[in-house]
Amino acid sequence: MAATGNSWLWLLVLSGALGAVVGSFLNVVSHRLPAGLSVVRPGSACPACKHPIRPWHNIPILSWLLLRGRCHDCGAGFSIRYALVEAATASLWIALYLHFIPGPDALLAGPGPMVPFLLYGGYFSALLAISLIDADHFIVPDVISLPLVPIGIGVVALLDMSALSPITVPQAVSGALAGALAMLALAGAGRLLLGREALGMGDVKLVAAIGAWQGAHPTLLLTVFVASLLGSVVGISYMAMHGRQRHLKLPFGPYLCGGALVAWLWGEDVVTLILGA
């Protein structure tokens, strides 16, 4: 039992390390993808002196701290965002590990739970990439969101055959359809009521992807509810600090992705809290 406990702890640490590595890649994706650049080549380089960053200077989080956020060759400063994204992704992977493998007992039946953990780690990392790009450019990139729909349904089908899927294939298909239709309805209502586009088609595709991976009920309702709540808090806070702006534009993608994560990790607790309030 002690050996199982040690294995569980080591896997927890490795999950965080893997998440940090994924976060380093997400920094590249969020910078290059909107510019139409390859996310693979060339390797990372200093934006100021263009010198390639050595592998030992590109260790997630640790290198930024040891180099004090500066280039080793020219001393130019690197944004703290790089380290924050890596730390956030590491935290995300740790949270997902604890969700799928909550304790050593979960490993006694074999490595099965690691499969959905890794697959959903990739899914939520893709949502984080979408959030970063939407926050910077007000774009939900189709190249990420659209493939997530068939991939999500395929992953659920694969896991379902191994009795590892948290949802069923019909739930994944209905989630994708319900997500797209619901967001289309909200977008149409927003245009009628506000006389302008309140939600973009990118948000429609994003919620379809969320439904494909997480099902329709109660995920979609919670996702939109939490996203609206977070967006309202940020919007009101911004107006309180900077003055009221009639056409304040906020990217909705990050809030939808945050809502999806909340619905996945704490959905039942949130539903109980709302119904019991």
Compute mean pLDDT per 10 residues along the chain, 277 residues long, and list them.
78 96 96 92 85 89 92 88 96 96 81 91 98 95 96 95 89 95 82 67 94 91 90 81 67 94 90 73
Contacts 24+ apart (CB under 8 A), 50-56: none
2 & 99 share domain = yes
Distance CA 197, CA 202 (A): 12
pLDDT at residue number 196: 63
Residues 181 and 264 in one domain: yes
pTM listed for this prediction: 0.92
Q: What is the largest CA-CA distance in the chain?
A: 63
Structural domain of residue 75, as residue ranges?
1-110
Residue with tokens 């001393």: 75
Q: Supply 83's token pair.
A: 């380290």
Q: Which of 53, 76, 110 is at the close of a domain?
A: 110
**Quick one: pLDDT at residue 103?**
87
Stated as kind and residue range, the H or E segment containing 130 is helix 114-137
Q: Verify that 130 and 238 share a domain, yes or no.
A: yes
Roughly how many angstroms between the first and final C-alpha of the chain, as a whole number? 41
The phi and psi torsions of 45 (rounded to 5 degrees) equal -140, 160
CB 126 within 8 A of CB 30: no
Q: Which two tokens stand for residue 39?
A: 């996310």
Tell me how far apart the alpha carbons of residues 41 and 69 are, in angstroms, rounded to a whole number.
23
- Clarify whether residues 140 and 246 are in a common domain: yes
Residues with Cβ within 8 Å of residue 235, at least 6 apart in sequence = 248, 250
Q: Which residue among 94, 110, 126 closes a domain?
A: 110
Report whether 101 contacts 119 (CB < 8 A). no
The answer to whether residues 189 and 158 belong to one domain is yes
Q: What is the pLDDT of residue 21?
A: 97
* Tally of CB atoms within 10 A around 19: 28
Q: Are residues 40 and 104 in the same domain?
A: yes
H or E, element range at 160: helix 142-161
Q: Contact, 168 vs 156, CB < 8 A?
A: yes
List the structure tokens of 127.
């949502």
Both 130 and 262 in one domain: the answer is yes
**Domain final residue pick, 93, 110, 127:** 110
Q: What total number of domains does the chain contain?
A: 2
Question: What values do phi and psi take at 70, rounded to 5?
Answer: -130, 155
Both structure tokens of 88: 């956030």
